């Protein structure tokens, strides 16, 4: 379903669970967990563990601001995709290439590797990423950027 993005005070990019949890505690409604679907047609798709807010009137909104200014998201509710509460950083993002294109496959592999590296440092209370991990992330980002440029050059 398409859900409008309506940023709310106290909600930060990348912190949907904490933000929605605060809204529910403050104003009522409920957290709805599931997956935000992002896609680059003919290249890749990803499902990001996400939460939206069901307001008291029953309507759904995504209160988490988006870095690219999206005004709506594609959201798939999934009652089994629960958030374990504070200190939990959500379920891993699921990515798949949309075709057997070497550059799309490389992009997905690099994104998955970067997530695996950074995941232990996304837990509340863990501050800072070690220099060796930052270097690995830089290398992965460069490979991903090259794959992205090749996809763009092919019109994908």
The predicted-structure confidence for 30-50, as pLDDT tens digits, reads as follows 999 999 999 988 899 999 999
Q: For residue 98, what pLDDT is reported?
A: 87
Q: For residue 72, what pLDDT is reported?
A: 97
The predicted-structure confidence for 54-81, as pLDDT tens digits, reads as follows 999 999 999 999 988 999 999 999 999 9
Write the CA distances from 7 to 22, 38, 79, 106, integer angstroms: 13, 19, 23, 33
The predicted-structure confidence for 4-39, as pLDDT tens digits, reads as follows 999 999 899 888 998 999 999 999 999 999 999 999
Q: For residue 125, what pLDDT is reported?
A: 59
Q: For residue 124, what pLDDT is reported?
A: 60
Tokens 């998201």, located at residue: 73
pTM of the model: 0.82
CA dist., res. 27 & res. 146, Å (int): 45
The predicted-structure confidence for 82-138, as pLDDT tens digits, reads as follows 887 776 667 889 999 987 888 999 999 999 999 899 888 776 656 678 899 999 999
- Token couple for 7: 């940023």
| Burial class of residue 78, CB neighbours in 10 A (0-12, 13-18, 19+) | middle
Domain positions in the chain are 2-77, 100-153
């Amino acid at each position: 379903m398409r859900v409008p993005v309506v940023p709310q005070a106290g909600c930060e990019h990348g912190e949907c669970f904490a933000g929605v949890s605060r809204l529910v505690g403050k104003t009522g409604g409920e957290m709805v967990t599931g997956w935000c679907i992002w896609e680059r047609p003919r290249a890749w798709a990803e499902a990001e563990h996400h939460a939206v807010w069901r307001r008291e009137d029953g309507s759904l909104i995504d209160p988490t601001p988006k870095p690219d200014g999206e005004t709506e998201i594609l959201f798939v509710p999934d009652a089994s995709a629960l958030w374990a509460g504070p200190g939990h950083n959500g379920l891993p993002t699921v990515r798949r290439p949309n075709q057997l294109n070497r550059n799309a496959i490389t992009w997905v592999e690099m994104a998955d590797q970067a997530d695996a590296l950074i995941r232990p440092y996304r837990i509340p209370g863990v501050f800072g990423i070690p220099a060796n991990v930052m270097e690995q992330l830089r290398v992965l980002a460069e490979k991903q950027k090259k794959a992205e440029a090749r996809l763009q050059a092919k019109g994908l």
